[in-house]
Structure formats: structure tokens, C-alpha cells
């Protein structure tokens, strides 16, 4: 029996490879199904003989209870970006200067999600998402369902290999067509659909969704070149994108980019750029990486797609502070992977500067590939019927006459009781950086406000009294109400700075809220601070000091604070919050030499804030040595122990990216 099981597994796995990878089926669907059936029966009868690479594990689905964390053996890097020919040339020349005659591998940049796979003795054992690059999440159960991924390699090797999970355009369209029939919300683009399928506890969904994968990187390859490594990945039986190319010159690279810029629409899947990788592995290692990116590779990103659509109207919305914002109402159009119907136009000056009129055809793109932005009107398509926007005089929600800001640019609704302002204020109160309450999105908040369930901050904390009523509301269930109430309870323990930010005092952002919380420790101390005293604090000017003291002088606000305290909301400062990131967290640093832009003490504090450790001596346990000018013997020791060294430029860049300097 064991023999037959093995035989069936071999035939069926081979049939899978030929069918999905080589487009060369040798079994009919019927033959395949009947062999698979036979195997499933035998495995059921003799579970002790079931093989780890059995194709039945691609059939039987698995439900997990939560995503386990997985620490990557080597960090999963992202790629730096270049956006035009000049930057590609720069990248190329910088490398060729030190490594003359270098060759590069050009690859398509798959628009999916990165994954790290582990095989042990040739058998697939684990798949993990990138996560923060150091720790990802175990998605083995879903990745197993990818039809083109073999569960057994052609060689019994231990392997960590990386690639991209994606969904073809065809599967994406089919998936959305099905969702439309079922009345489910549609996915915006194939990447979202792929990511949504992978982030499921039940692998039945990934199985139905028809995902695909290409592998493109082995972190610890033993081959001399990336090209040979890719050949090896193929030999192992893993899917590799066939369009990779070896470029021997800058011209070859630019030709490849040109070719795919034109031919991109003909591909059966979405790509968002071209990846360039230095071919020689020894040179790759010598070049090394920054904290985030390898220096031997980069991604050329295709220019942001620009489309033309009609600006059918401009409507005004009211923000939490009463600020009035004009918004473009656009004829829905697909741009950079999603459908856009609205875009902010910021203020009247912006509209004037761009010469936008209602009825115009406008150029539209996504800034940073995310936020829709109206670029300007297509003047040649004007027909004379376009209308200049007139600023409104009254609040579109409560009809109160608007007032102008000091800068004379913005308009405000001055009515503290304006429903639009109140709803925005409530949405801000629960938002992630404020009280961080899950389950009260914009829509729900608006509904709750209109139904009279939440009219003010206090009502949020009294929701638990209305648990049964909430459960009975349409669209809610016991579980979601319980999760919401748990999240509300949890938010009571937030440190003071979150509450100060959440209250929405004009001009008080996260940074100022933290400064005030640190200085006053308790809201009861802060509420009695006078304006002069507040002005003495660094970073707090006249206006902010006035806003804070005005807020706390208001009897209504003093009552609000007291009521929140009575409801059990913490109003004290917890102390320095540590933040996790993949650059500093859980790593040991040693500082040596002088840095021109920051004192050692300050740098130490920043590293500790991110849960990193700073020690005085270099040892094999040290992760990184940060070396300024005239470093001492610690530098030599780091070199001899092969420890990563960051110079002044690198640490400055990291701190700048983190907005620490
Ligand atoms: S190589 C150390 N090659 O693009 C090398 N990445 O923006 C790591 N990607 O995180 C990546 N196609 O998820 C590489 N052919 C390709 C790729 C590719 C898509 C993704 C990958 C990466 C992201 C960076």
C-alpha cells in the first residue's frame, strides 16, 4: 500500500508540474481526478503512510485560529526606487565605478505581496509574509493552495526562497464578477485581491481565488551570480518569471525598461516597475545594504498613470475644526489600480491657482501612487459651459454663516454644535493615533450620531449599557459588538497624550500633546496651567498656549474632563512609550566616534525609545556599530568581527526618515 501511495503522489505531483508550470498536461482531467481519488481513499485508510508532499494537501482546506509570528532567518528587504532614466543611469554608474564590467539582471516587478518560503529536505514546510521585514506571519495553509507551487522540490535541499504572490488579471476579473453576483464589495485591484485572500484564516478562500507565485531571490545563495541562482530555482521546479534578462550594459537596461513600458498591458498580470539586480553575488555582498534596502538592487517604478475625467461638481465638506474643504466630484475613473470618484481640492486658492472650473475635463493622477490628485484642466476640451466655483456663504450642514481664517485662505463654520463638526470630532477621537478604538469607522459613527446613540465622547464609554440594542442593529452581531466594547474598555488605559490629542484642541497635534503630557503628567495639572506658563515651553507658541488655556477655561470642557475621569478614563502620563521598528528594536548598538549632527546621549535615547539597546563594548553579540568621525578601537573590532557598521550619513538618513531629526 505504501508503495502505491508513493507512486500516486509522484505521478500526481508530476502531472501538476506539467500542467501548471510547463503547459504540457499528460493526464486527462478524468484520469487525474480518479488517481487523486484513489490516493485520498488510501490516505484515509492508512493515514500513517500519508506523505508530506501529497497533492491531497492542496485539496483539503485548513482553518487556523490566528496567524502565528515567524522570525525570518535573514531580514526581508524592500527595494529602493528610481523614477526616470537619469536615476537609473546614476544607480548603474555608481556600481560600475567600483565594479567595472558589471552585469545586471532585469526582472519584472510583480505587483503582489512578498513571501518567504522554507523547504526542508526538499519538502515545503512554511510560508511567511514580510511583516516588518524581521518578523512576518505564518501563511503556510494558504500558500499550500497555490496550484503552481510544488510541495516537493526536484532536489532534497534545505532552502529559504523569496518571491511574490499575485493574482492574474483574468482570475481577478473572474473573482470580482463572482463577487458582484453575490453582492459582495469588489476588490480594487489584483494586488488587494491577492492580499485579501492570503490574509484569511480559512484556506478554502485562497484555494478558490486562484493565486499564483513567482520566486526571485535566495538570500544565501551559493551560486556566483543571481542569474545562475534563478536557473537553480527553476531546476528545483519552482515557478520563475520567464521574462528576466541579463543586461551587459546601461543600454541593455534602458531597452528592457522601454520594451516593458510599452508591452506591459499585454502581460496576463500586473507589474508596477522593473527590478534591476547586480548579477555578481560577491559584489552584491561587498556593497551590502542600508537598514531597509540592498544597495545592489533597485526598482524602476513606472510613472504614475495619468487619466482624464470630468469634474462634474465641487462640493464642500466640514471638518472637525469647522474648516470648509472643497472636494472634486469626478466621473468615476480607474487610475493606478482603483476607481476614483472624489479628490480634495484643499481650498479656494488651490482651485484658483489651478484654474479649475465645474464641468472641466481634468488630468488626474495618484500622488505617491495613493492619493488621488487633480493635476489641472484640459483647456482644449472646454466648450464655454464651464462654471467658475462660487464660494458658499453658509455652512452646508448647519447653515451658520461661515467666517474666514486669519490667513484669509480658509473658511470655517463657527458653530460648535454643527453636526458635521461633531461627527468629525468623534471620528478623530476614536482614530488610531488618538484613543485607538476599533470598530467605529466613519460610516458607523455617522449612523450612531444620527440615531442619537453617540452624541459626545462620554456616550462612547456608556455604549456598554446599550449592548443588547447594538447587537440587534442591522449589520452588527454579538461578536462585533463585543470586540467594539472591548476596544473601548482598553482605550481607557491610554496614556494622557492620546487623550489630549483626541480632544481635538485646535492646533494640538500628536507632538504637542506628547510635550504637554510629559511636562504636566496629569490633566488636572495641565487644566490649571495659565497661558504665560504654557508659552515658556519649547515648541509652544502664543497661539497654541492660548488655545490650550481657552479650552480648559471653558466650563463645559472642565465638566467633560471630570465626567471622563468618572467613567474610568486614565488622564495621567504613562511615561516614554517605546515603539517597535525593524531598524532598532531588539538590536544591540555600540556608538563610537563623533557625529556632527547629534549628541551621543540623544542618539542613545532615540535608540532606546525604539526598544534598541546601546552598550559600551563591541562583542559578537553587537548587531551594529554606529561610527562617527575619528572612531576608536571599537571600529577596528567591529571590522574584525564582521559586524555591520553605519556611518554618519546612514544614521542621519535613518533618523530623518523616522522624523527624529
Ligand atoms: S527582489 C533583496 N524582485 O517589490 C531583494 N522584488 O518594492 C528583494 N517585487 O519587497 C526583492 N517583483 O515584494 C524583487 N522581481 C522582483 C520583484 C520584487 C516584485 C517586490 C517585492 C519587494 C518589493 C519592493
Query: Are 177 and 227 found together in one domain?
Result: yes
**H or E element, residue 444:** helix 442-450
Ligand 1-lining residues (CB < 6 angstroms)? 77-79, 107, 109-110, 114, 164, 216-217, 275, 294, 297, 299
Query: Are 293 and 315 found together in one domain?
Result: no
Confidence of residue 369 (pLDDT cuts 50, 70, 90): low
Query: Are 242 and 201 found together in one domain?
Result: yes
Q: Is the pLDDT of residue 157 over 90?
A: yes
pLDDT digits (tens, 9 = 90+) for 614-629: 888 888 889 999 998 8
Report the separation in Å between the CA atom of 295 and the middle of ligand 1, taken as the mean of its atom positions. 13
Mean pLDDT throughout 636-649?
86
Mean pLDDT throughout 466-494?
91
What is the number of the ligand 1 atom nearest to the C-alpha of 293? 2
In a domain, residue 64? The reply is no
In a domain, residue 74? The reply is no
Report the separation in Å between the CA atom of 109 and the middle of ligand 1, taken as the mean of its atom positions. 6
| Percent of the chain residues topping a pLDDT of 90 | 65
Q: Which domain holds residue 131?
A: 81-301
Q: Is the pLDDT of residue 578 over 70?
A: no
Query: Are 38 and 106 found together in one domain?
Result: no
Report the separation in Å between the CA atom of 629 and the middle of ligand 1, taken as the mean of its atom positions. 35
What is the number of the ligand 1 atom nearest to the C-alpha of 294? 2
Among 130-134, 272-276, 441-445, name the most confident range: 272-276
Q: Which residue's CA is minimally distant from atom 9 of ligand 1?
A: 109
What is the number of the ligand 1 atom nearest to the C-alpha of 81? 7
What is the number of the ligand 1 atom nearest to the C-alpha of 241? 15
Does the pTM surpass 0.85? The reply is no
Q: Which residue's CA is minimally distant from atom 12 of ligand 1?
A: 109
DSSP state of 56: G
Determine whether 302 is exposed, middle or buried from the number of CB atoms within 10 Å of its CB (0-12, 13-18, 19+).
middle
Tell me what pLDDT residue 602 has.
85
Tell me what pLDDT residue 577 has.
62
Count of CA atoms in the C-beta half-sphere (13 A) of 620: 0
pLDDT digits (tens, 9 = 90+) for 84-143: 999 999 999 999 999 999 999 999 999 999 999 999 999 999 999 998 888 889 999 999
Query: Are 207 and 143 found together in one domain?
Result: yes
Which residues are annotated as catalytic?
109
Tell me what pLDDT residue 393 has.
96
| Number of helices and strands in the chain (H, E) | 25, 22
In a domain, residue 553? The reply is yes
Query: Are 485 and 500 found together in one domain?
Result: no
Ligand 1: which of 75, 80, 110 to mutate, judged by most atoms within 8 Å of the beta carbon? 110
Quote the mean pLDDT of the chain. 91
Query: Are 172 and 144 found together in one domain?
Result: yes
Please state the domain count of the chain.
Answer: 6
Q: Is the pLDDT of residue 370 over 80?
A: no
Integer angstrom CA distances of residue 205 from 61, 130, 143, 187? 9, 21, 11, 14
Q: Is the pLDDT of residue 239 over 90?
A: yes
User: For residues 310 and 477, which has the higher predicted lDDT (pLDDT)?
Assistant: 310
Ligand 1: which of 244, 275, 285, 294 to mutate, judged by most atoms within 8 Å of the beta carbon? 275
Mean pLDDT throughout 303-318?
92
Query: Are 516 and 477 found together in one domain?
Result: no
- CA 148 to CA 42: how far, in whole Å? 25
Q: Is the pLDDT of residue 475 over 70?
A: yes
pLDDT digits (tens, 9 = 90+) for 601-615: 889 888 988 888 888
Q: Is the pLDDT of residue 600 over 80?
A: yes
- CA 90 to CA 368: how far, in whole Å? 22
Q: Is the pLDDT of residue 295 over 70?
A: yes
Report the separation in Å between the CA atom of 380 and the middle of ligand 1, taken as the mean of its atom positions. 41
Report the separation in Å between the CA atom of 644 and the middle of ligand 1, taken as the mean of its atom positions. 23
Mean pLDDT throughout 416-437?
93
In a domain, residue 572? The reply is no
Query: Are 227 and 104 found together in one domain?
Result: yes
Tell me what pLDDT residue 590 has.
93
Listed residues 431, 459, 491: the one ending a domain: 491
Query: Are 129 and 19 found together in one domain?
Result: no
Look up cell 500526481; give the residue. Answer: 12
Cβ(33)–Cβ(53) under 8 Å? no
DSSP string, 412-424: E---TT-HHHHHH
Query: Are 430 and 453 found together in one domain?
Result: yes
Tell me what pLDDT residue 624 has.
92
Tell me what pLDDT residue 1 has.
85
- CA 373 to CA 391: how far, in whole Å? 21
Tell me what pLDDT residue 169 has.
94
Query: Are 544 and 620 found together in one domain?
Result: no
Report the separation in Å between the CA atom of 231 and the middle of ligand 1, taken as the mean of its atom positions. 18
Amino acid at each position: 500500500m505504501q508503495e502505491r501511495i508513493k507512486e500516486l503522489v509522484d505521478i500526481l505531483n508530476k502531472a501538476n508540474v506539467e500542467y501548471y508550470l510547463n503547459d504540457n498536461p499528460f493526464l486527462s482531467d478524468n484520469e487525474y481526478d480518479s488517481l487523486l481519488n484513489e490516493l485520498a481513499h488510501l490516505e484515509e485508510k492508512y493515514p500513517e503512510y500519508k506523505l508530506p508532499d501529497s497533492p491531497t494537501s492542496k485539496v483539503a482546506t485548513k482553518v487556523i485560529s490566528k496567524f502565528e509570528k515567524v522570525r525570518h532567518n535573514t531580514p526581508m528587504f524592500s527595494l529602493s526606487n528610481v523614477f526616470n532614466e537619469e536615476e537609473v543611469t546614476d544607480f548603474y554608474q555608481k556600481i560600475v565605478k567600483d565594479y567595472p564590467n558589471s552585469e545586471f539582471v532585469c526582472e519584472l516587478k510583480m505587483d503582489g505581496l512578498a513571501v518567504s518560503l522554507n523547504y526542508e529536505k526538499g519538502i515545503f514546510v512554511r510560508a511567511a509574509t514580510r511583516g516588518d521585514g524581521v518578523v512576518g506571519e505564518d501563511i503556510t495553509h494558504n500558500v499550500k493552495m497555490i496550484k503552481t507551487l510544488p510541495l516537493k522540490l526536484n532536489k532534497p535541499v534545505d532552502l529559504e526562497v523569496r518571491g511574490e504572490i499575485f493574482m492574474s488579471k483574468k482570475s481577478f476579473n473572474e473573482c470580482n464578477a463572482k463577487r458582484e453576483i453575490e453582492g459582495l464589495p469588489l476588490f480594487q485591484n489584483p494586488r488587494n485581491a491577492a492580499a485579501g485572500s492570503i490574509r484569511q484564516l480559512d484556506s478554502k478562500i485562497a484555494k478558490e481565488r486562484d493565486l499564483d507565485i513567482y520566486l526571485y531571490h535566495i538570500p544565501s545563495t551559493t551560486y556566483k551570480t543571481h542569474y545562475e541562482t534563478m536557473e537553480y530555482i527553476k531546476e528545483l521546479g519552482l515557478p520563475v518569471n520567464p521574462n528576466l534578462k541579463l543586461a551587459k550594459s546601461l543600454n541593455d537596461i534602458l531597452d528592457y525598461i522601454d520594451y516593458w513600458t510599452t508591452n506591459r498591458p499585454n502581460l496576463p498580470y500586473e507589474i508596477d516597475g522593473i527590478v534591476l539586480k547586480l548579477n555578481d553575488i560577491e559584489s552584491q555582498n561587498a556593497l551590502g545594504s542600508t537598514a531597509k534596502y540592498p544597495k545592489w538592487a533597485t526598482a524602476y517604478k513606472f510613472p504614475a498613470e495619468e487619466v482624464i475625467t470630468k469634474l462634474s461638481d465641487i462640493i464642500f465638506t466640514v471638518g472637525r475644526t469647522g474648516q470648509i474643504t472643497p472636494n472634486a466630484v469626478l466621473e468615476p475613473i480607474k487610475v493606478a489600480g482603483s476607481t476614483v470618484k472624489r479628490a480634495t481640492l484643499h481650498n479656494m486658492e488651490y482651485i484658483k491657482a489651478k484654474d479649475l472650473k465645474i464641468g472641466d475635463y481634468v488630468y488626474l493622477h495618484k500622488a505617491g501612487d495613493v492619493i488621488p490628485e487633480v493635476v489641472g484642466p484640459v483647456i482644449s476640451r472646454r466648450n464655454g459651459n464651464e462654471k467658475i466655483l462660487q464660494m458658499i456663504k453658509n455652512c452646508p450642514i448647519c447653515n451658520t454663516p461661515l467666517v474666514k481664517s486669519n490667513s484669509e485662505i480658509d473658511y470655517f463654520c463657527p458653530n460648535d454644535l454643527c453636526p458635521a463638526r461633531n461627527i468629525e470630532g468623534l471620528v478623530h477621537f476614536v482614530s488610531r493615533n488618538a484613543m485607538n478604538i476599533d470598530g467605529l469607522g466613519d460610516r458607523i459613527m455617522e449612523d450612531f450620531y444620527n440615531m442619537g446613540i453617540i452624541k459626545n465622547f462620554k456616550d462612547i464609554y456608556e455604549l456598554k449599557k446599550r449592548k443588547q440594542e447594538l447587537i440587534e442593529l442591522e449589520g452588527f452581531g454579538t461578536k462585533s459588538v463585543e470586540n467594539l466594547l472591548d476596544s473601548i474598555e482598553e482605550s481607557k488605559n491610554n496614556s494622557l497624550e492620546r487623550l489630549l490629542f483626541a480632544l481635538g484642541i485646535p492646533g494640538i497635534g500628536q507632538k504637542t500633546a506628547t510635550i504637554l503630557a510629559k511636562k504636566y503628567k496629569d490633566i488636572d495639572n495641565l487644566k490649571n496651567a495659565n497661558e504665560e506658563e504654557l508659552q515658556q515651553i519649547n515648541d509652544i507658541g502664543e497661539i497654541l498656549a492660548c488655545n490650550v488655556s481657552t479650552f480648559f477655561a471653558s466650563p463645559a470642557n472642565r465638566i467633560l474632563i471630570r465626567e471622563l475621569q468618572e467613567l474610568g478614563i486614565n488622564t495621567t502620563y504613562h511615561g516614554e512609550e517605546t515603539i517597535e521598528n525593524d531598524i532598532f528594536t531588539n538590536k544591540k548598538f555600540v556608538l563610537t566616534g563623533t557625529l556632527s549632527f547629534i549628541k551621543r546621549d540623544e542618539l542613545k535615547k532615540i535608540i532606546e525609545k525604539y526598544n534598541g539597546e546601546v552598550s559600551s563594548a563591541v562583542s559578537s553579540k553587537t548587531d551594529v556599530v554606529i561610527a562617527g568621525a575619528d572612531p576608536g578601537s571599537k571600529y577596528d573590532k567591529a571590522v574584525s568581527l564582521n559586524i555591520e557598521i553605519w556611518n554618519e550619513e546612514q544614521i542621519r538618513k535613518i533618523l530623518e526618515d523616522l522624523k527624529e531629526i
